[in-house]
Amino acid sequence: MATSQKTLDGSFTLAQLQNTLTVEENLGFKHTTDLQKRDAPPPANVATFEDDAGYTPKRPLVLVHLKPGEDLEAVKAAQKKQGRNFLFSGAVFINKADAQVAGFR
């Protein structure tokens, strides 16, 4: 499968970031595999996508903003109870500020 990357605005809210990723997935027949902040200014995030070979409808992507000190394993368990699988976690920019997020589907 082919992978691609796209730079996304670091001033997006969490909802705008999630919506942008969903639109990119739907327009490009691909799915998000990673999201990290870009090291070079201005604040931006880099999303990694993988081509989606099939036409199977995807479950919606869900981004969870992790609070400082929040246990990722506890968040994973809570999301698993809702039927979502863990995809990735990392440091990103939300509203131009450092944040930790986890992605689920």
For residue 36, what is the enclosing H or E element? strand 30-37
- How buried is residue 92: exposed, middle or buried, by Cβ count under 10 Å (0-12/13-18/19+)? buried
| pLDDT (0 to 100) of residue 56 | 64
pLDDT at 26: 87
Are the C-beta atoms of residues 8 and 24 closer than 8 Å to each other? no
Tell me which amino acid residue 69 is: G
DSSP 19-70: HHHHHHHHHHTEEEEEEEE-SSSSPEEEEEEEE--S-PPPPPPEEEEEPTT-
Res 55: pLDDT: 59
Residue with token string 């976690």: 89
Give the mean pLDDT of the chain: 93
What is the per-residue pLDDT across 16-50, written as a single tens digit (0 to 9) for each? 999 999 999 988 889 999 999 998 889 999 999 99
Q: What is the pLDDT of residue 54?
A: 67
Q: How many CB atoms lie within 10 A of CB 61?
A: 19
